[in-house]
Amino acid sequence: VVEAPEPTAADLLAREFLDRPGPQVAPDLLGCVLEREAADGLVAVMLTEVEAYNGEKDPASHAYRGRTKRNAVMYGPAGHAYVYFTYGMHFCVNVVCMPDGTASAVLLRAGKVIAGEDLARRRRFPASLSREPKGARESRDLARGPGRLCQALGIDRNLDGADLCVPDSPLRLRAPSRRPPAGERGGEGVTPLRSGQESLILSGPRVGVREGAEVPWRFWLAGEPTVSPYRPYARRR
DNA sequence: GCACCGATGTGCT
DNA sequence: GCACATCGGTGCC
């Protein structure tokens, strides 16, 4: 196999490409590849489901009530990872959009593992589990959902702020591997998937949010089995 | 497949 | 205190 793991700057998404409002960037991220390189190996997923959060104007965004210590990275320059901890046990990772000073982000909800599946499986189902999990352990479930995606890729708060646009980063964003001929490419070297091209992009309401549920800012690839099942907002006791 | 529910840490009112 | 950009288990159809 001649798969070259080390990307060059041209293989990665350009920061300017992400320097737009999250709802514009989000569908363009589908088909792109998120790579995590750690001491124990490399895991890569092709993104199949994302959700946009549009900063201070968006009641569902962590930035709705302004800048805090937790969401500080979202206010920084585009192309960095905003990682947060939620529900007492899960991490979620976002791609920061828009320039320094403006908060906007895209939550990475699901992906298809295309490299390092064994490592991803060990992270999701460690041998130290006291009981063998009864649930499905199929390949499609390895990164199906934002918490699972972070688990499979070994993403935790240490990667909050990581730069996704530089080749030597532990967490990187590659342009889609399937590209049209060079002549058809734009100047930035980035060619997002588009409706009617390789895959059909669908959109709908965001998962698990109460306010701001009207806007269809969740985007996914039609027919992809790795897309997470829709769960509406649920009240808890 | 669906509905419900508990686990669990932390940010913010 | 309470709400949470979640998940895995159980029970049921």
Task: Mark residues 35-74 of chain A whose C-beta is closer than 7 A to nucleic acid strand B.
Answer: 62, 65, 68-71
A81 touches strand C (CB under 7 A): no
pLDDT recorded at residue A190: 39
CA of A161 to C1' of C9 (A): 34
CA of A86 to C1' of B11 (A): 10
pLDDT recorded at residue A127: 79
Q: Which residue type occupies A162?
A: A
Per-position pLDDT tens, chain A of length 237: 555 578 999 899 999 999 999 999 999 999 999 999 999 999 999 999 999 999 999 999 999 999 999 999 999 999 999 999 999 999 999 999 999 999 999 999 999 999 999 999 999 998 766 555 555 578 999 999 999 999 999 999 999 999 999 999 999 999 986 554 444 433 333 345 554 456 799 999 999 999 998 999 999 999 999 999 998 888 777
Query: Token pair for residue A188?
Result: 């930035």
**Nearest-5° angle of CA A148, CA A222, CA A215?**
80
A88 touches strand C (CB under 7 A): yes
Query: Token pair for residue A72?
Result: 């500080």
Task: Mark residues 30-59 of chain A whose C-beta is closer than 7 A to nucleic acid strand C.
Answer: 51, 53
CA of A167 to C1' of B1 (A): 43
Predicted model pTM? 0.90
CA of A131 to C1' of C12 (A): 24
pLDDT recorded at residue A6: 82
Nucleotides of B under 7 A from a protein CB: 1-2, 5-13
CA of A210 to C1' of C11 (A): 27
pLDDT recorded at residue A160: 98
Q: How far apart are CA A10 and CA A13, in angstroms?
A: 8
Contact between A33 and A192 under an 8 Å Cβ cutoff? The reply is no
* DSSP state string for A28-84: HHTT-EEEEEETTEEEEEEEEEEEEE-GGG-TTSTTTT---TTTGGGGS-TTBEEEE
Nucleotides of C under 7 A from a protein CB: 3-10
